[in-house]
Amino acid sequence: MNQEANPSVVLFEQVVLRGCGLDVHEKTVVATIDGEGIVRETRTFDTYTSSLNELSEWLQLHQISDVAMESTGVYWKPVFNILDESFKVTLVNARHLKNVPGRKTDKKDSQWICKLLLAGLLKASFIPEEKIRDLRNLTRYSTKLTQEMAAEKNRIQKILEEANIKLSSVVSDISGTVAIKLIDGLITGRTDLEAMIDECYHGKMKASKAELLKAITGRMAPSHRFMLKQMKHHISYLESQIAVVQLEIDSLLEQDQQSIGLLTTIPGVSKLTAVKLLAETGTKVEQTFGSTKRLAKWAGICPGNNESGGKKLSGRTTHGNKYLKSLLVEAAWAATRTKGTYLRAKYNSMAASKGKKKALLIIGHKILNAVYIILSSQQPYQAFSVEEFEIRRNQTRIKHLKNELKELGITA
């Protein structure tokens, strides 16, 4: 086809000499090779390891140097595991390619990816080293187990309500020591409720013994006892599994205890949160992202740019790493509960003008900036004191008010 006669064909400057574009699916991989000295060719391979090895040998035969593919679910991982040893693999966010018109087949998909790769127009996604990938799997699995355990506790609350047991109305947490002992007694069928309360009651409880007696007096049926017993067994199992996973996490992070300790100097960041942050960002943030802005953009924790015709439109946060984003919001919420810290003072200031939800994102953004600086410099967290923050805020407000007076024609 004559490209000069067909204006629909886009001409790109070639950056990569020889490349391959992959359209990855669950059962098949469609590969297109192109570049200097070779004729463009497209082949389809199975996703079994033996077929992927054949794909690697085919690419090596044609002296392919770069490979690009979309990050489709988990299907890219087996392909990456085989090709990463011999080629420079670029993983691309599928969202960056989905709106390209005229690609209706797997073959055209792979050809388009190959063309963009040769032109150097693909933006690579962050693929951490194998150790961090293993750590991610463990921390995300641990989070899922914790969520399952929370769901079981909610089911226990539901069964108690069904049995006319109003324990949650008089205790702050049905997972507390006193509540657990009372629930265990009810499961075993004890009817001496007053004696049961005397055995576990302590003076620090806000509820009186009489209130506890009213709360646990209900109609506990055998089916309720059976369900509660099964749920408690499940919770015990989940707790043991979380402990086992945590041991494996600790063994992986044996060499990174200093970084974890430094991250815990950030208000709101516990040891568990620090481990999860490392699992998402990796330890080499400066080499990977280059700046705090790029890290925040990747996490989806900063405002987006949306300008047209000189007007700034919606600046809502962009899509990013949802695990890291939720983790930062949790850490931000914990930071707002710390006393006498810059992050809490900043949150109170932002919440008054922007609302609590946006203020939490702002604090999460600041925590992420602190993570980048700490991991890059290996220095503990440092921030303004509350007094310094108030002074700087007042100076900014004075400057703003002076400008308003100047616009009104009033000179100080």
Q: What are the extents of the domains in the chain?
A: 18-118, 132-252, 257-305+316-381
Q: Is the pLDDT of residue 8 over 50?
A: no
Indicate yes or no: pTM above 0.75: yes
pLDDT per residue over 99-158, tens digit each? 556 557 889 889 989 999 999 888 888 888 899 999 999 999 999 999 999 999 999 999
Q: Burial code of 40-79, b = ≥16 C-beta within 10 A, e = fewer?
A: eebeebebeeeebeebbebbeeeebebbbbbbeeebbeeb
Looking at residue 317, the DSSP 8-state letter turns out to be: B
- Secondary structure of 374-396 in HEC code, one letter for each residue: HHHHCCCCCCCCHHHHHHHHHHH
Contact 343, 366 (CB under 8 A): yes
Mean per-residue pLDDT over the chain, rounded: 88
Contact 261, 378 (CB under 8 A): no
312-322 average pLDDT score: 76
pLDDT per residue over 200-237, tens digit each? 888 788 888 899 999 999 899 999 999 999 999 999 99
Residue in the structure block whose two tokens are 């989070």: 143
CA distance 55 to 411: 75
3-state secondary structure of 263: helix
CA distance 228 to 254: 39
Contact 139, 321 (CB under 8 A): no
The more confident residue out of 388 and 22 is: 22
Contact 103, 53 (CB under 8 A): no
267-292 average pLDDT score: 93
Task: Find how far residue 222's CA is from the centre of its chain.
Answer: 42
CA distances to 131, 249, 263, 292 from 135, in Å: 6, 7, 17, 23
Token pair listed for 355: 């609302």
Q: Is the pLDDT of residue 6 over 70?
A: no
CA distance 69 to 75: 11
Q: Is the pLDDT of residue 9 over 50?
A: no
pLDDT confidence of residue 257: 92
Q: Is the pLDDT of residue 2 over 50?
A: no
Question: Do you know the residue count of the chain?
Answer: 412
Q: Which CATH number fits domain 18-118: 3.40.50.280, 1.10.1760.20, 3.30.420.40, 1.20.1260.10?
A: 3.30.420.40
